[in-house]
Amino acid sequence: MPFLSDYKCSECGEDFEFLKLKSNDTPECPECRSKEVEKVLTSALVGVCNDPSVRSEKLKQRSLDDSKKNFKRNWERARAKKPAYFTD
């Protein structure tokens, strides 16, 4: 079944759409012809797609984003609290 997906090139950063007709079709960047592309989730795709690979990619990205936020928040808290043996 053909479907249209959004991709972003890892080489040049170009955003583009690709109509996938067969399961073995590989998208190629129209700008630099690189095959190093990653699938981008769009708001229309989130929540309505039943493709498990898309759902797992979304969950991986959300988990990574949460980890980055938590690390940054914990780092800032640790820097704000100076141990008693440090003096200004």
Please indicate, yes or no, if residue 36 is contained in any of the structural domains: yes
pLDDT at residue number 9 = 92
Residue numbers in the chain where pLDDT is lower than 70: 1, 42-55, 82-88
Please indicate, yes or no, if residue 63 is contained in any of the structural domains: no
How many separate domains does the chain show? 1
Ramachandran assignment for 47, one of left (phi > 0), alpha (psi -120 to 50 degrees), beta (any other): left
Please indicate, yes or no, if residue 58 is contained in any of the structural domains: no
Q: Which domain holds residue 14?
A: 1-50
